[in-house]
Amino acid sequence: MNYTATTDATGRSDNAAADTHRKALEVNLDATSFGSFAEIGAGQEVARWFLRVGAASGTVAKTVSAYDKEVSDDPYGSGTRYVSRPRLETMLDCEWKSLVQQIGDARGKDTRLFAFADTIAARDGAVVALWADQFSALGPRAGKGLGRKA
């Protein structure tokens, strides 16, 4: 692939942007992975990479992006701390349950489902970020709850 810009929107060099581009495309081209992304607060970049590089229709079931607190309260409930482990776990659980319910066994035994969630606060140049993911083993319902990181 040809990368002509010297930096991307975040000010990273060509090499860093190209590496992120390559990794996202590699995931998109892997026909065994399919899932959802949920991002609230200042974190609106992860899903963008997967959509930007192409071939995302085989990887991305849905994306949820909410910058406003009240908007994120609708699917995940109200809270007092939005960048917190409990909020992140609520997001991840909600997206995982939704994915399994909506996709169910339709993707077949050769699919590894995933849900990714992040919540990020950025104020006065300081950034606080939390992320988590959950993957199944091959097969939509196998390994539920394994691989969670926070």
Predicted pLDDT at 93:
93
Q: List per-block mean pLDDT (blocks of 10 residues) for the chain, which spans 150 residues.
A: 40 73 94 93 89 95 92 90 90 93 83 91 86 75 40
112 near 32, Cβ under 8 Å? yes
Predicted pLDDT at 42:
86
Residue 145 domain flag:
no
State the residue range of the domain holding 67. 14-135
Q: What is the DSSP letter of 75?
A: H
Q: Where are the beta strands (DSSP E) in 14-123?
A: 33-41, 60-66, 112-123
Residues in the chain: 150
CATH of the domain at 41: 3.90.950.20
Q: Are strands 60-66 and 112-123 parallel, antiparallel or unpaired?
A: unpaired
Number of structural domains in the chain: 1
Predicted pLDDT at 12:
52
Binning the chain into helix, strand and coil, the percentages to the nearest 5 are: 35, 25, 35
Residue 143 domain flag:
no
Predicted pLDDT at 4:
34
